[in-house]
Amino acid sequence: MNKMLRISVLIIIVTGFFHTALPQADHPEPKTLAIGSKAPDFSLPGIDGKTWTLRDFSKAPVLVIIFSANHCPTAQAYEDRIISITNDYKSRGVALVMISSNSVRTLSYSEMGYTDVGDSFEDMKYRAGDKGFNFPYLYDGDDQKCALAYGPVATPHCFVFDRDRILRYNGRIDGSEKPGSAGGEDLRKAIDDVLAGRPVGTPVTKTFGCSIKWAWNDDYTRRLYKQWAELPVTIEEIDVAGLKELVRNSGSGKLRLINFWATWCGPCITEFPDLVIIDRMYRGRQFEFITVSADKKARKADALRFLQKNEASNRNYIFNDDDIYKAIEAVDPDWQGALPFTMLIEPGGKIVYKKQDVIDPLKMKKLIVENKYIGRYY
């Protein structure tokens, strides 16, 4: 390597270091668009494969832009109301568009306890299809230029523009988050006023919901992942009576996910990281994840090493009898012995899911978050 090349490499490394070390104060402070401002233009990909711009809504007498997020319980609580508002005003030419601006790298698993999906573009496609969104759903999470221009403070946050694309209202959809408790009155009133050519009675309202996940605010996520990596990982022996108690799930008050696995089981090893993610998503709720190794007791150290490698800081057990058939009968007479074997059990022992073979992680997350002991909303 010649001297000039060594200098170039050094400059690149040093520059990259100082870029990642910039304090939050050196990043832009987003400001919410003021009433009377023109709508900033945008060019954003939609889940329909189209790139959308402000001009695509030029014929609409009113344009409603709502910043939202898949993972946010408040945003999810308003989705049905947004669908209803879109339907109710479509015949009057009102256009409504939803934008997701969260940076996926600053959204931690611990913030996803009320959802089955995150805020990536692929997650947006899934959520829109699952809920039947009837409006364009656009992605701004890569550079967040649109969010920086509009300045949403929480999800959901509404902006209502007149025919000339002058901002006439910004704020909440209504004042009651709980589904079924309100019908989007604040947003509907603003739309009605703009359609009628009247000044909006209350042009600015406060919003309530999840904060925007700005790309530069990654300190919390990095610290959290470091904390998870440092949590102790242990494995204890369990007997037949202990296994039966796990399945009975009496007294925990928690939805319990149990996974039976082994170090020699290829599918077990493949799916295990997904189970750890599920645990990190929901461990802050009424949920617990437990693993039981079907390895021989002599391989307890091997099982522990695997668990440590995967940072499985949940409750982990290994069956203390080399006769694995005793464990199979104790857990579930219908279990034929194939690994992996996974069970989802409500408090009191009601088995709501069980499967021999690998799980579908997305389906499992949906089962968990829509269970009565968890739920999508506060």
Indicate whether 286 and 185 sit together in one domain. no
Same domain, residue pair 209 and 246: no
Domain of residue 137: give its range: 28-219
pLDDT on residue 300: 98
| SS3 state of residue 285 | coil
Per the structure, how many domains does the chain have? 2
Same domain, 171 and 244: no
Check whether residue 235 and residue 215 sit in a common domain: no
The answer to whether residue 11 sits within a structural domain is no
Question: CB neighbours of 326 closer than 8 A, spacing ≥ 6?
Answer: 240
* Residue 22 falls inside a structural domain: no
* Boundary (domain end) residue, out of 186, 219, 252: 219
Pair 146, 293 in one domain:
no
pTM of the model: 0.90
Residues 41 and 86 in one domain: yes
Peptide bond into 340 cis (omega under 30): yes
Q: What is the C-alpha to C-alpha distance for residues 177 and 74, in angstroms, rounded to an integer?
A: 6
Does 240 lie in the same domain as 199? no
Q: Of the candidates 352, 333, 360, which has an alpha carbon nearest to the alpha carbon of residue 243?
A: 333
* Tens-level pLDDT at each residue, the chain (378 residues): 443 333 333 222 223 322 333 345 567 778 999 999 999 999 999 999 999 999 999 999 999 999 999 999 999 999 999 999 999 999 999 999 999 999 999 999 999 999 999 999 999 999 999 999 999 999 999 999 999 999 999 999 999 999 999 999 999 999 998 998 999 999 999 999 999 999 999 999 999 999 999 999 888 899 999 999 999 999 999 999 999 999 999 999 999 999 999 999 999 999 999 999 999 999 999 999 999 999 999 999 999 999 999 999 999 999 999 999 999 999 999 999 999 999 999 999 999 999 999 999 999 999 999 999 999 987
The structure tokens 């900033």 sit at 40
Position 54 scores a pLDDT of 98
DSSP classification of residue 80: H
Q: Is residue 46 part of a domain?
A: yes
Q: Are 151 and 264 within one domain?
A: no
Same domain? 131 vs 188: yes
Residue 213 counted as domain residue: yes
Regarding whether 359 and 296 lie in a shared domain, the answer is yes
- Kindly state whether residue 190 falls inside one of the protein's structural domains: yes
**Does residue 98 lie in a domain region?**
yes
Write down which residue in 174, 190, 219 finishes a domain.
219
**Distance separating alpha carbons of residues 149 and 131, to the nearest angstrom:** 28
Q: Is the domain of 254 the same as that of 211?
A: no
Phi then psi for 155, rounded to 5 degrees?
A: -115, 125
Query: What tokens does 5 get?
Result: 């090349």
**Taking the CA atoms of the chain, what radius of gyration do you get in angstroms?**
25
The domain that holds 172 is classified in CATH as: 3.40.30.10
State residue 26's pLDDT score. 67
Could you say which of 192, 219, 246 is where a domain stops?
219
CA–CA separation, 376 and 131 (whole Å) = 13
Q: Is the alpha carbon torsion for 21, 23, 24, 27 positive or negative?
A: negative
Q: Are residues 215 and 235 in the same domain?
A: no
200 inside domain = yes
SS3 percent helix, strand, coil of the chain, rounded to 5, is 40, 20, 45
| Neighbouring residues of 97: CB distance < 8 A, sequence distance ≥ 6 | 52, 57, 63, 64, 65, 66, 135, 136, 137, 138
The per-residue pLDDT for 29 is 79
- Domain-located, residue 186: yes
Report the distance separating Cα 221 and Cα 250, nearest Å: 34
